[in-house]
Every structure is written in structure tokens, then in C-alpha cells.
Amino acid sequence: MAKNSAGEKKKKVIEVLNTARAMELQAIYQYMNQHYNLDDMD
């Protein structure tokens, strides 16, 4: 049972890290999108 619990914890950590990574990539995309849109206004 301890192995299963450790495995579940590992999966949860990976899930949280993947969510954080997705959020970071979304922020980068938004920044780059705004950067190029504002750059085109010059």
C-alpha cells in the first residue's frame, strides 16, 4: 500500500508541475503576442 501511495503522490506532483508549466507557457505566449502586436503599431 505504501508503494501505491508513493506512486499516487508522484503522479500528483507531475500533474501540478505540468499545470504550472502550461500556465508559464500561456504567459509567455500572451507576452509575445502583445509585444508583436504593439511593435506592429509603430
Look at residue 41 in the predicted model and tell me its pLDDT.
78
**How high is the mean pLDDT in each 10-residue block of the chain (42 residues)?**
83 98 98 89 72
User: Side chain identity at 38, as an amino acid letter?
Assistant: L
Domain count, the chain: 1
Q: What is the DSSP string of 1-42?
A: -HHHHHHHHHHHHHHHHHHHHHHHHHHHHHHHHHHHHHHHT-
Side-chain-side CA neighbours of 16 within 13 Å: the count stands at 6
Read off the pTM. Answer: 0.71
Which domain, by its residues, includes 10? 1-42
| Distance separating alpha carbons of residues 25 and 33, to the nearest angstrom | 12
